A and B are shown apart, each in its own frame.
Chain A
Amino acid sequence: MSVDPAPSIRPGETLALRELPTFDLDTFRRNLCDGVRRGQRVLALFGQPTGDAGATGETGLRLFLVLADAESGTFSLQSTEVGDRYPSLTLDCTAVHWFEREIAEQWGVVPDGHPWLKPVRFHRSYRPPRDAWSRPEGQPIMPSVTDFFRVEGPEIHEVAVGPVHAGVIEPGHFRFQCHGEHVFHLEISLGFQHRGVERALIGGPDKRTIHYMETLAGDTTIGHTSAYCQAVEALAGCRAPLRAEAIRGIALELERLANHTGDLGALAGDVGFLPTLSFNGRLRGDYLNATALICGSRFGRGLVRPGGVAFDLDAERIKTLIERLEPALEDTAGSLKVLWQSLSVQARFENTGTVSKALCDELGLVGMAARACGAYRDARHDFPHGIFRFTQIPISTCPSGDVFARAYVRGMEVQRSGNFVLEQLRMLASGPTTAPMGPMARESVAVSLVEGWRGEICHVAITNGEGHFAHYKVIDPSFHNWIGLAMSLRDQQISDFPLCNKSFNLSYCGHDL
């Protein structure tokens, strides 16, 4: 049994694959549990077939684990090898439950004893004919056709919603176990948006790669492209110029401003408070249009590119941006002030959809939703990269874990992101906006972490002997947080579902990939 510690890297660093240890499963399990007990968090757990599949398709599976240590600001990496079955890790560490379901679906291995082993995206295994559920090869796999948790008893009923929802919103399937208005349990079944992105990334980067990144979650274009660039720049030994990092930071915070502002408006709408709904609908557009002023696209398409950014800001444009953002931020503050002052709004926000700090930590929730449970968890602070190495945005937290907390944290982040953007625009670093990208290191791994508006976006890139992607893992914050939404509905009224849902506003496509 090996007792070597797992090696650690910082954001922007790489690790040669030969230095990445492969432990036996018991050591791997112990390292996972000990790490999580000491306060580390699971960023990624994923499988990659070992060796050449060949004609027989007979390969083993290597599981990679990335733990984040906020105290030292490092990521530790380790792996283990498993056969077609192995004793589930979820029993010892709840935070990996969704990861193990994903591994089972993608690679057809069975984590024995997993408490709720179901597909997460409803597609065929990447190693046919292996299938964790022994489904016959010819039989089509229909989304959400599976077992659901059921509560039995007199007058218990089940409410099924989706995939097509009532609003202009992405598809997902929701099952509520209800007694009248009262919800005992909500189960969320996704996969309708599955476009096969991760498979298409292998062998890249190619001319589509950056466009996949831009559309992993279209409302988080800057977040995902920044995470991608952080990973490939690390592998290529390229350091983006400071001016480019500042523009990326401005765009990232504009993305946060737009989405938080829009969601706060929608939350107001969900409790029938129309002034903030109306104000914020327009203001969200002002932030999107600020991004369009930078790069021509309201969602930041075309801006962040490996090596830097594709659009620079001249003095006139900076002046225009500041002149537009100042009144928009003032109007947002005014709009939120009337929201917080409204007692009827507070009565509906408070004690609705509560997630405790203990549950948040056990499930490994991330981002704004975790900070709203009182967790000090923000990649901009804990794992600073790019412009955040030079300037800090205070972490916004609220301890109550309810809809109010998720709204209030967003409100604080709007304020702080607004200040950051104005400050960066006023003192934008000079110099070039791109640096040349060389070839990527061979047989190496890089981990990137970017605090998107929903939460931390983790990308893990592994290169092959030619310096191309042998594997590329994308973990949208929604992957961690969908279970948080499900738990927030326990013992709530079903009519509060839209409110709870919007308070998290998780990504379907970012999860489904």
Chain B
Amino acid sequence: MFNIIAERSRQGHQTSTYPLTAPKVSDRFRGLPVIDATKCEDGCRACAEACPTEAITADVKSLSLDLGRCLFCTDCTQACPTGAINYTPEYRLAVRNREDLVLDGRPIELAHELDERTRRLFGRSLKLRQVSAGGCNGCEADVNVLTTLVFDLGRFGIDFVASPRHADGLLITGPVTDNMKYALEKTYEAVPAPKIVIAVGACAISGGPYIGHSVVNNGADRVVPVDLYVPGCPPNPWTILDGLLRLLGRLEGPTKDLAAPVANETSAK
């Protein structure tokens, strides 16, 4: 008993000060990409051809990137001869509408909060049932980590529950394999209305690396209506937490405003 207290005292307080301060991510973290079509050379489609998931559309002096398909790999940035695509450490990426994930050089339209009635219901207590429908355990792991003491999801009133009957909504990962489609539909039906659905990761948004495979359904919104899209492969836990809090209208100050700079680890040192 005393050993446990001594160890607890030695390890100290570990919960992050987020959302009062911005989270720290690796300086090599690949967050929101910025695209600059003015740098494109005429007729160059190197990025689009390199992209493993056809996330990029390149035409004459126009470039768009679908974050819903993006694996945040380096295939396009390495292929581009002029540096027209660059990743930034911006971790805030969650949106409400699928089309808001298509970047074309304009600022990203981040998720706005739920309508007043739903927010009054869920704003201070949101119980989610997680369904992995072909996920590789990357998204699942970085969803699960939110319940650890660093993020301490419970302090925001958000929890994962063991039954859809106890849930206010679903958090879905994976491309929705044929073998999970029926189970996902049944789980969705079992959640009492009103209910929300959150799609986490490239797979759940578009099929990710498995887009077009004959045994997958190319994402959750082909099966159930989706209220929040959190892109990434997998999304950073801060990206997921930001999306959840944004949906509930729980963010204020430096973590809400996209114009505020994002600290990264090595520059902060």
List chain A positions with a Cβ less than 8 A from chain B. Answer: 121-123, 142-143, 163-164, 166-171, 191-197, 200, 207-208, 210-212, 214-219, 221, 275, 278-279, 281-282, 284-285, 288-289, 292-299, 301-302, 310-311, 316-317, 320, 331, 334-335, 337-338, 341, 507-509
Check B26 against A301 for contact (C-beta < 8 Å).
Answer: no
- Compute how far the CA of A317 lies from the CA of B27 in the bound complex, rounded to whole angstroms: 11
Residues of chain B lying within 8 A (CB to CB) of residue A335: 7, 11
Residue of B nearest to A195 (CB): B210
Check B71 against A170 for contact (C-beta < 8 Å).
Answer: no
- Compute how far the CA of A168 lies from the CA of B180 in the bound complex, rounded to whole angstroms: 15
Task: Give chain A nearest CB distance to B89 CB in angstroms.
Answer: 9
Task: Give chain A nearest CB distance to B81 CB in angstroms.
Answer: 18
- Compute how far the CA of A215 lies from the CA of B53 in the bound complex, rounded to whole angstroms: 14
Check B26 against A293 for contact (C-beta < 8 Å).
Answer: yes
Check B29 against A292 for contact (C-beta < 8 Å).
Answer: yes
Check A299 against B180 for contact (C-beta < 8 Å).
Answer: no
Check A281 against B148 for contact (C-beta < 8 Å).
Answer: yes
Check A191 against B179 for contact (C-beta < 8 Å).
Answer: yes
Stretch at the interface among B92-100, B129-137, B241-249: B129-137
With beta carbons under 8 angstroms apart, the residue of A170, A191, A192, A334 that contacts B7 is A334
Check A282 against B148 for contact (C-beta < 8 Å).
Answer: yes
Residue of A nearest to B87 (CB): A296
- Compute how far the CA of A178 lies from the CA of B38 in the bound complex, rounded to whole angstroms: 68
With beta carbons under 8 angstroms apart, the residue of B138, B150, B162, B179 that contacts A167 is B162
Interface secondary structure of B, over-half rule: mixed
The winner among B14, B132, B139, B143 for most chain A CB atoms within 10 A is: B132
Check B208 against A193 for contact (C-beta < 8 Å).
Answer: no
Residues of chain A lying within 8 A (CB to CB) of residue B75: 207
Check B11 against A331 for contact (C-beta < 8 Å).
Answer: yes
**A320 with B266, Cβ < 8 A, contacts A193-B174, A211-B71, A296-B28 known:** yes
- Compute how far the CA of A168 lies from the CA of B3 in the bound complex, rounded to whole angstroms: 31
Residue of B nearest to A294 (CB): B28
Residues of chain B lying within 8 A (CB to CB) of residue A197: 210
Residues of chain B lying within 8 A (CB to CB) of residue A299: 138, 141, 234
Check B209 against A169 for contact (C-beta < 8 Å).
Answer: no
Check A218 against B136 for contact (C-beta < 8 Å).
Answer: yes
Check A298 against B142 for contact (C-beta < 8 Å).
Answer: yes
Shortest Cβ-Cβ A-B pairs, 6 listed: A218-B138, A281-B148, A218-B136, A296-B28, A166-B162, A215-B136
Check B134 against A193 for contact (C-beta < 8 Å).
Answer: yes
Residues of chain A lying within 8 A (CB to CB) of residue B50: 207
Task: Give chain A nearest CB distance to B209 CB in angstroms.
Answer: 4
Check A170 against B135 for contact (C-beta < 8 Å).
Answer: yes
Check A509 against B137 for contact (C-beta < 8 Å).
Answer: yes
- Compute how far the CA of A142 lies from the CA of B174 in the bound complex, rounded to whole angstroms: 19
With beta carbons under 8 angstroms apart, the residue of B72, B73, B134, B234 that contacts A509 is B134
Given contacts A168-B132, A170-B137, 19 further A-B pairs with CB under 8 A are: A143-B180, A164-B129, A167-B162, A168-B144, A170-B140, A192-B134, A192-B179, A193-B177, A196-B214, A211-B71, A218-B139, A281-B145, A282-B149, A298-B236, A320-B266, A320-B269, A334-B7, A507-B137, A509-B134
B215 sits at the interface (CB 8 A): yes
Task: Give chain B nearest CB distance to A299 CB in angstroms.
Answer: 5
B124 sits at the interface (CB 8 A): no
- Compute how far the CA of A36 lies from the CA of B140 in the bound complex, rounded to whole angstroms: 38
- Compute how far the CA of A146 lies from the CA of B136 in the bound complex, rounded to whole angstroms: 25
Residue of A nearest to B174 (CB): A193
Check B174 against A218 for contact (C-beta < 8 Å).
Answer: no
Residues of chain B lying within 8 A (CB to CB) of residue A294: 28
Check B132 against A200 for contact (C-beta < 8 Å).
Answer: no
**B182-218 interface with A by 8 A CB criterion:** 182-183, 187, 208-210, 213-216
- Compute how far the CA of A297 lies from the CA of B149 in the bound complex, rounded to whole angstroms: 21
- Chosen A-B contacts, 19 in total, with CB atoms closer than 8 Å, are A171-B180, A192-B134, A192-B177, A196-B213, A196-B216, A207-B75, A211-B209, A216-B136, A217-B136, A218-B234, A275-B8, A296-B30, A297-B72, A299-B141, A301-B72, A310-B74, A338-B4, A508-B132, A509-B137
B226 sits at the interface (CB 8 A): no
**A302 with B74, Cβ < 8 A, contacts A196-B210, A297-B30, A334-B10 known:** yes
Residue of B nearest to A291 (CB): B26
Check B180 against A196 for contact (C-beta < 8 Å).
Answer: no
Check A196 against B138 for contact (C-beta < 8 Å).
Answer: no
Check B269 against A281 for contact (C-beta < 8 Å).
Answer: no
**B140-172 interface with A by 8 A CB criterion:** 140-145, 147-150, 160, 162-164
The winner among B135, B147, B150 for most chain A CB atoms within 10 A is: B135
Residues of chain B lying within 8 A (CB to CB) of residue A191: 179
- Compute how far the CA of A365 lies from the CA of B143 in the bound complex, rounded to whole angstroms: 30
**A164 with B208, Cβ < 8 A, contacts A171-B183, A195-B213, A320-B269 known:** no
Residues of chain B lying within 8 A (CB to CB) of residue A171: 131-133, 180, 183
**A215 with B208, Cβ < 8 A, contacts A169-B132, A338-B7 known:** yes
Check B145 against A285 for contact (C-beta < 8 Å).
Answer: yes
The winner among B73, B137, B150, B160 for most chain A CB atoms within 10 A is: B137
Query: B48-85, CB under 8 A of A: which get 1 and which 0?
Result: 00111100000000000000000111110000000000
With beta carbons under 8 angstroms apart, the residue of A163, A208, A219, A338 that contacts B183 is A163
Task: Give chain A nearest CB distance to B155 CB in angstroms.
Answer: 14
- Compute how far the CA of A299 lies from the CA of B130 in the bound complex, rounded to whole angstroms: 20
**A195 with B177, Cβ < 8 A, contacts A168-B140, A207-B75, A282-B150 known:** yes
